[in-house]
Amino acid sequence: MTVTLRKMQASIDANTDAPVSYNFVLGEERVPLKESLGQNVQLKFSGEIFCIHCDRKTKKSFSQGYCYPCFKKLAQCDMCIVKPETCHFDRGTCREPDWAEKHCMQGHTVYLSNSSGLKVGITRNTQIPTRWIDQGAIQALPIFQVNTRLHSGLVEILLAEHVADKTNWRTMLKGDVPVLDLQQERDKLIDTCEAELEQLWEEVEDFALEPLEDEAISIKYPVLEYPKKIVSHNVEKTPLIEGTLMGIKGQYLILDTGVINIRKHTGYQAEISF
């Protein structure tokens, strides 16, 4: 089947300790990948890329799936999505105010997770636990609730002075990340940053910060065997990728021949066979 790639769908059953359930999005079809573990997978890339917003053919993908005009026009491609502390909605300069009302001016969660080690992150409340799964986190713990994306970014940048805010994808894919006591890490971090958090409360207009007392969750992934050495497939150099599917973690397919980030190739056209 020839399709334009989309991010894999992922979900977990909170009532069991079953691993993440992944579906490949093939047009309107959803193909469960659980039964494909241990089987041969082939992806043959055509070299064509289509914008995931307007479906325009493009020579290069921007911001994981957009053509250049959409990249320059859409609010979801603005720099403030990567750096939420730079949100400019209140200055009236947002590219798409209606989109921002639905996505940025909504409740956000500040969290700690363990993907390649301890890190801090933010996400819309509606993106829990999808955000953690996409990062390949094996543990996650919500620590604060805030009212907007801007406020979550201000908290994140403050906490990131003391813990990492990025995932080392190579370490994440090796599967030997030690388990952490996230509640203990949360308490230490809040104690360390108490004065700075109080300063945010005093200086930022309409700032509200609700501490959370949630339990940490553990996330398992459908992996038969983790790679000892991380080799990443380059579809520009080698458009035909195939191998035995050894596992899935984050948005990566782990093949016995190397790994490929499906989300990175959103919008790429490929012929897929399992």
- Which pLDDT tens digit goes with each residue over 144-154? 999 999 999 99
Give the pLDDT confidence of 16-66 residue by residue, as tens digits: 888 999 999 987 889 999 999 999 999 999 999 999 999 999 999 999 999
Give the pLDDT confidence of 233-245 residue by residue, as tens digits: 999 999 999 999 9
Alpha-carbon span 99 to 149, nearest angstrom: 13
Give the domain ranges of the chain: 2-65+221-273, 108-218
Global pTM reads 0.94
How would DSSP label each residue in 162-177?
Answer: TSB-S--HHHHHHT-P
Contacts by 177-184 with C-beta closer than 8 Å and gap 24+? 177/114, 177/115, 177/116, 177/117, 177/138, 179/114, 179/138, 179/139, 179/218, 180/114, 180/118, 180/139, 182/112, 182/113, 182/114, 182/118, 182/139, 182/140, 182/141, 182/216, 183/141, 183/215, 183/216
For residues 153 and 200, is the Cβ–Cβ distance under 8 A? no
Alpha-carbon span 215 to 142, nearest angstrom: 8
* pLDDT attached to residue 1: 80
